[in-house]
Amino acid sequence: MCEASAYLIQDGKEELILENVDELHREGDVIKMINLFGDQKALEARIRMISFVDNKIVLEKP
């Protein structure tokens, strides 16, 4: 399974915001994510990095 965990950088620290992310979509300045269980999260953010080895998404505030 290749689902990823999504983190948002807040005050210099990575805060976990959603686990088991299946899909990520960018629409304008908004990142929308949906996970294995159908849970969704949308927030104004930019992608800093994604690791397909560590199954990790790192977002930051715009």
Interface residues toward its own copies, by CB under 8 A: 2-4, 21-26, 46-53, 55
The residue (of 3 and 15) whose beta carbon lies closer to its own copies is: 3
Give least dist CB 37 to its own copies, A. 13
Alpha carbon distance 48, 61 (integer Å) = 9
Nearest to 51 by CA among 30, 14, 39: 14
The residue (of 15 and 54) whose beta carbon lies closer to its own copies is: 54
Cα dihedral sign for 23, 28, 31, 32?
A: negative
The residue (of 24 and 43) whose beta carbon lies closer to its own copies is: 24
